[in-house]
Structure formats: C-alpha cells, structure tokens
Amino acid sequence: MKKGWSIIITIVLVAILLGAVSVGVGLMTGGDDPRDYMSQVYETVHPYVNWAIDVAKVLWEAVRSAAA
C-alpha cells in the first residue's frame, strides 16, 4: 500500500509541475493570467455548477417531501 501511495503522490506532483510550466509558458508568451485563465475556467465549469445546484435542489425537495 505504501508503494501505491507513493505512485499517486508522484502522479499528483507531476501534474502540478506540468500545470505550473504551462502557466509559466503562457505568461512568458504574453498571456494575462487572471483574465484568461479565469474566463476559461468559468466558461468550462459554469454549466456544470448550475447543473449540480439544480440537482441538489431537486434532491433536497425530494428528501423534504419524503420526510413529511
């Protein structure tokens, strides 16, 4: 199990390193970090967040009506 965790930690650290390199290259090539990165994240994640909120509301109402 110890070897499994070391593999997982290695993969996570490599992913973080690749992300940092990607951001660094983007900034060196003239990218604007806060504006570009956050707009891309927002456009990608926003529909899923709204969907998750809607699902949570439906589930909450189902639980409340079942409890009553």
Contacts of 26 (CB under 8 A, 6+ apart): 33, 36, 37
Reported confidence tier of residue 41, pLDDT bands at 50, 70, 90? confident
pLDDT of 2 above 90: no
Residue 34: predicted pLDDT: 64
Asked whether the whole model's pTM tops 0.75, one would answer no
Q: Which of 33, 34, 35 is nearest to 22 (CA)?
A: 33
Cβ pair 26, 36 in contact under 8 A:
yes
Share of the chain above pLDDT 90, in %: 31
Residue 32: predicted pLDDT: 66
Cβ pair 33, 26 in contact under 8 A:
yes
Give tens-digit pLDDT for 18-38. Answer: 988 988 887 788 766 666 666
